[in-house]
Amino acid sequence: MNFFKSGLQSVLGTSENQETMTGAETVERLVDRVQSSTMLEDRRDACRALKALSKKYRVEVGAQAMYALTQVIENDRTDNEIVGYCLDALCNIVSPDQFEEESENPHISVNIGEQFTEMFIKHPDHISLILSHLEEYDFRVRWSAIKLLTCLLANRTKEIQEVVLVSPMAISRLMDLLVDSREIIRNDSLLLLIQLTKGNANIQKIVAFENAFDKLFDVINEEGCADGGIVVEDCLILMLNLLKNNSSNQQFFKEGSYIQRLSPMLILTEEAEEVGMTPQKVSNIHCMLQIIRVLVSPNNSQQSIAACQKIMRSCGLLETLCRMLMSSGIPPDILTELINSTAEIIRGDGNNQEYFNQVLAPSNPPKPAIVILLMSMVNEKQPLVLRCAVLYCFQCYLYRNEVGQNDLIHTLLPSTKEVPATLTSGQLLCGGLFSMDAISNWFSAVSLSHALIENQNQKEQLLRSLVATSSSSQPTSLLQQCFNLLQQGQFKYQSKIGILMFLIIWLSKCEMAVRSFLSINGTISFLIAQITANEHDENEYLIQGLCAFLMGICIQFNDNGVEGNRRDDLCQLLIKRIGIETFSGKLNEVSKHESYSKAGKQPQIRIKSPADLLLDYEFCKLFKSLEPTVSKLITSFTNGNESVNELTISQEASSLVAQYKNIIREQDHKIQTLNEQVKQLHLQNESISSKLTETQTSMSQINDQNILLRAQLTAASSSGVQNQHSNMNGFYDQHATKIHELEQQVASLSHEKSHNETKIQFYEAENARLLTEIDQFGATKENESTNEKLRCEINELNSKVEQMSKDQEDLLELLADQDLKIKEYRKRLKNLGQQVEGDDDEDD
């Protein structure tokens, strides 16, 4: 303090009277000198003095000297010393920090630096001026300009960013600072860039374009990577800024093979494992893990996640992380982030999930990493964040992983094989489900539910699972046991919520599971009792909502297989015992609950205290997709459509599809029988045709014989048998007429036949068309009108077939008639003494 005073005195050449007076006065006099003195020396001294006063008399210097200082920076730019003083003085004025020197000043307001910043940047030129001084190599100027910009940015980030963005070379210059050989410049410019890149995608892009990642990795390497100091951490924080919510830069990072550069930095030496980590190393590794997570965050596009996940496996990063995960002496903060990172690297990637499944912990005997992790999850003594991370990791392992889901459920099924030597995941989770620790109950229930998501087969398989809670008790089904747990009075609300979510996921879209659940004594009355209970606590409301949803699921996916709990029965119960409005109100409790919106935001569980552990992301997703269906189902009762038939028709997709399937099956069957009939008609037709040909042949034979007879008759008459002749003549005339008639009949018969054939052709064509239509119908499944039309057509066709069969019968009768007549004629001819050729045997 004395130094400053004496310094001031020497500059001003006067002694101070009163402190308060001197502050403002001194500054005024100094400003006057800065502006009026023609001697550089003088101006320099005055600026030095202003700098010295700028902490204690910040208000005075800021108010009176800002303009003068800026002028000097502009006009005296060739003198580095004076520019340095001015930049420093300005830096003090706008600093967001409070100085020790001003702590006793009651007039100083907290945001004084911010106010001066605002004044200073009213002229955008001022910022350009500061930016231009970054080019000055002189240490004092460059360093002071960096610090001033950093202060300005801290106070008014957005405004400064806008100015920097439109100054073409500004970012370029700032990036050059990163390769300044003077460490302090490099380090402080890192801090400046961290401020500058916050939340501005355009700046982030340009910084990346200016080779930021290369430069930063160079610095990190120089500084000793993960073992390096705070500069390494700053570099990593800047990288994180560049990548967060910036898909372009993420793509650039991936394409530039920077994942491959980051990966080896996470390899821990054995020595490090033994000695443990310094707090700085913990911070560095923490930042690296965050960078990894930004690249595979579930919020990114699926395409970009998948590409990064693949690289992370192939470059050995996943392996490195898994090894670190299983090594000893990893500090808890890192362990949690490590588990979360691993989770997101494997999420939804079959190969990575399979790799993770194979990881073994170096225990004796080696245990699967998954088992080790689940052991921590169901262990009350482990920190909550760690347990949450394990759950997340396990969920990510099961996500879209049918094989993993099947494996897990398999460990819960009764097997003929011997009990495995080590504990299985399934056993651990069952243990957690039935433990006294509510958090373990919740974690286990949610874990199990994730093995059933989108996995119809395992929902049915798990119904076979038997559990014995104590060695003495008889094994009961897991489903029954879950219901027992729900009924226990001392069971905490969190455990109930967990079990209810598990049951809902299990029963949803699985009629078999619903049937099993409804077969358990008292399930529905329990749900009704819960829904109608008079509760006052928010979490109890949530439980009621879940119970209502579960009941809705039991109605929705009911196959009417349980006597007394058919869809109709449950609807009646709902209307009479709960009331539709109450039910809807309770159902709404779920989505109204705070945790619904929180949990639904991202797959990872983000909670502050154990009490926040309520709803799960995947459950929220399911609720969101099924709740409208259940709601619609319930409101359909209100509309007076209480009849179950109506209800059935108004059902959503699943039942509709089943309905249509039935119709299609019926129609298939009909088509088959029709085809059969067509075949038979064909056969009949053929036989009729052959008979017709036969008849025609015999007719022509008869004709020939007739001609012969006539000729013989003429011969006879000429031999003088006149009487007989006239008789015979009359007979013959008659005969000829008859034959003529017969011929006509045959003609009409063949006409009939060809007509019949056309009909059959038409029928076949119709049939083919029908088949294609059915095909189309099968594809759309929802076209009821087509269906209706088809049914009509089938009816029509049926009647046509009937008609045709009748025609056919008539024809056959006619043929038989014809046959008879022909026979008669033959007989008569015989009687007339004629030798009839052909069907002799018949007549004998």
Point out which residues bind another protein (CB under 8 A).
165-166, 168-172, 202, 205-206, 209-211, 214, 247-249, 251-252, 255-257, 304
Residue carrying structure tokens 């100091």: 229
Contact 392, 603 (CB under 8 A): yes
Q: Residue 252 or 557: which CB sits closer to another protein?
A: 252
Q: Are 352 and 397 a contacting pair, CB within 8 Å?
A: no
Q: Which is nearer to another protein, 114 or 162 (CB)?
A: 162
Choose between 203 and 479: whose C-beta lies nearer to another protein: 203
CB of 212 to another protein, least distance (A): 11
In 3-state terms, what secondary structure has residue 639? Answer: coil
Work out how close the CB of 244 gets to another protein at its nearest, in angstroms, rounded to a whole number: 15
Considering the complex, state which of residue 169 and residue 649 has its C-beta at the smaller distance from another protein.
169
Nearer to another protein, 154 or 170 (CB): 170
Measured from the CB atom, the residue of 176 and 535 that comes closer to another protein is 176
Min CB(252)–another protein separation in Å = 5
Does residue 545 contact residue 527 with C-beta atoms inside 8 Å?
no
Nearest distance from C-beta of residue 251 to another protein, angstroms: 5
Angle in degrees, CA 336, 341, 343, rounded to 5 = 95
- From the CB of 254, what's the least distance to another protein, in Å? 9
Q: Which is nearer to another protein, 170 or 326 (CB)?
A: 170
What share of residues in the chain are helix, strand, coil (percent, to 5)?
A: 75, 0, 25
* Cα separation values, 50 from 34, 43, 310, Å: 10, 10, 59
For residue 537, give Cα distances in angstroms to 488, 534, 562: 18, 10, 34
- In the complex, minimum distance from the CB of residue 173 to another protein, in angstroms, rounded to a whole number: 10
Angle in degrees, CA 197, 198, 204, rounded to 5: 35
d(CA 165, CA 209): 13
- For another protein, which is the closer residue by CB, 247 or 635? 247
- Name the residue among 454, 456, 412, 457 with its Cα closest to residue 430: 412
- Which of 254, 281 has the CB closer to another protein? 254
Q: Which residue's CB is nearer to another protein, number 256 or number 585?
A: 256
Q: How far is the CB of 538 from another protein (least distance, A)?
A: 37
Query: What is the DSSP secondary-structure string of 721-766?
Result: -HHHHHHHHHHHHHHHHHHHHHHHHHHHHHHHHHHHHHHHHHHHHH
Shortest distance in whole angstroms from residue 133 CB to another protein: 19
Closest approach of another protein to the CB of residue 777, in Å: 33
Q: Where are the beta strands (DSSP E) in 394-475?
A: 466-467
Residues 790 and 774: their CA atoms lie apart, in Å, by 8
Segment (H or E) for 476 = strand 476-477
Report the distance separating Cα 85 and Cα 821, nearest Å.
138
Which of 195, 695 has the CB closer to another protein? 195
Give min distance, CB of 241 to another protein, in A: 17
Instruction: Indicate the helix (H) or strand (E) that contains 367.
Output: strand 367-368
Q: What is the nearest approach in angstroms of another protein to the Cβ of residue 349?
A: 20
Q: Which residue, 193 or 749, is less far from another protein as judged by CB?
A: 193
Provide the minimum distance between the beta carbon of 123 and another protein in the complex, in angstroms, as a whole number: 18
* Cα distance between residue 89 and residue 61, in whole Å: 8
CA–CA gap between residue 24 and residue 107 (Å, rounded): 13
Buried b vs exposed e over 100-134: b needs ≥16 C-beta within 10 Å?
ebbeeeeeeeeebbbebbebbbeeeebbeebbbbb
